[in-house]
Structure 1
């Protein structure tokens, strides 16, 4: 993102590690800061001007089974590694 930071609204809950950003004018989700890897971001690629979404692999996820704990997380990712 190059401009428009002043037009973003952020949504956070619980631990406040994850932050979801939306356009304050139209409400579209633009990107989020990840909970389990807060130095990584998820981006709504449909907000990008020159990008072919079919050019990247897709991984299906099931929200009910998701966890902040990832025992296989890369070492450079901060975040929970185990329960307890």
Structure 2
């Protein structure tokens, strides 16, 4: 995966992200390639069904998914990545609990 310098991570305050500690690294489809493990992924959807919450059926880790806020992109869980300890990301608050806002309005609030 390629990173901009510094990578920008979204810290969402919705119940799922806040309780699991998920930090979103948003990547375009061209910047993300799943090398293996697709056969053990399971997904969970609710509400509109737009978000595809993907989990490893063996260990339960949610390392990436298709988020409601960025339905044409992939959100990679920064905390599930290996070898990023020396990279200092820029963390941006993201309001994932307030209905009726655009993605742009949700950035930087929380």
Question: Normalising by the residue count of structure 1, what TM-score does the alignment of the two structures yield?
Answer: 0.66
Structure 2: gaps of 5 or more residues: 1-33, 106-110
- How many residue pairs get matched? 72
Change (3 A) 1:72 1:29: closer
More strand by share: 2
If asked which structure has higher relative contact order (CA below 8 Å, sep 6+), I would say 2
Distance, in Å, in 2 between the alignment partners of 1:46 and 1:60 is 16
CA distance, structure 2, for counterparts of residue 28 and residue 53 of structure 1: 23
**Residue 41, structure 1, aligned to residue 69, structure 2:** no
Q: How does 1:2-81 map to 2 (within 5 A)?
A: 2-52=35-85, 54-65=87-98, 67=99, 69-70=101-102, 72=104
Larger radius of gyration: 1
Q: How has the CA–CA distance of structure 1 residues 71 and 51 changed in structure 2, closer, same or farther, with 3 Å as cutoff?
A: closer
Where structure 1 has 5 or more consecutive residues not aligned to the other structure, the ranges are 74-84
Please give the TM-score of this superposition, normalised by the length of structure 2: 0.53
CA-based RMSD of the aligned residues comes to 2.5
Displaced runs of 4+ in structure 1, greater than 6 A? none
